[in-house]
Structure 1
Amino acid sequence: MRRVLGVLAGVAAFVALWEGYKAVGNPEGTAVFGVRILPRADDLSMPHLYTVLQRLARPELAGGRPIWRVVLDACLFTLGVTAAGFAAGVVIGFLLAALMQRFRVVERGLLPYVVLSQTVPLVALAPLVAGWSGALSLGPYAWQDWT
């Protein structure tokens, strides 16, 4: 019960912040020294939440699937890719840990790179991996966009 009330309070706070900023916010956004720090509050950039909920039931294209279904499918695809990445990370991490535990020379050779890999933020690596996607292959297998 307490968790449900917490979720409802969080949703109510989000709705209040969204609609409150929509009511009092500048339609062109708030800028300081020419840099926009708050988003535009016009109907195109920041529609009312009831408009967003109504739009979820409409088809994506003429005769297409409803938008809520398209969003759900995209979320499930992302979940699948994330699960595949997690599984690959677990397998590779386990193999590296077993090799490093068993062979001292492997530990001395790999440990600096393992430590270095933990200091680079993922946000910095994502554009690099996306840029490499067309140029990489694993033997005869081309790097797929989803990987």
Structure 2
Amino acid sequence: IQRSYTDKHQLIADIPEPLPPIVADEDKIDSVLTNLVNNAIKYSPNGGEILVRAVREDNTILVSVRDQGIGIPKDKLTKIFEKFERIDTKETRAAGGTGLGLYLVKHLVELHEGQIWAESEGPGKGSTFYVRLPIYPKRAKDEGYYFDDVEQALHPER
């Protein structure tokens, strides 16, 4: 566990085990994670804790970003990934934004054959965003990409 502090938030990275490399566009995945962490900071109160966790589940990596922020109404949990969709509250209006960030994040995750979703108990209860990425996407195999490190991670018995 690594802890760092922004001026107003505590950022905790919890990666309990070494993770295998994944076949992905590093810049695009960096954009995905940066957007999720920035949103967690933007919508969390001063002094809030933001937990970024990554674990291997079968042949995927599951990353979660949890905050103690304003939360998301249950009826908006899937809509927030639509183009120009914003939750209209006093807090979100003050934070600004275009309603494009999560739409683009979803698009980038899906380009990597991944999944993204959000969970929240509702307004004022924080939220958790999940990104699941395959270690070795089907498209990479189909296009002939071969990475010894990835193959070794997927099939250690070989």
Common fold: TM-score over 0.5: no
Instruction: State the TM-score, normalized to the length of structure 2.
Output: 0.24
Greater relative contact order (Cα < 8 A, sep 6+): 2
Given the two structures, how large is their TM-score scaled by the length of structure 1?
Answer: 0.25
Greater strand content:
2
Q: Which has the higher helix share?
A: 1
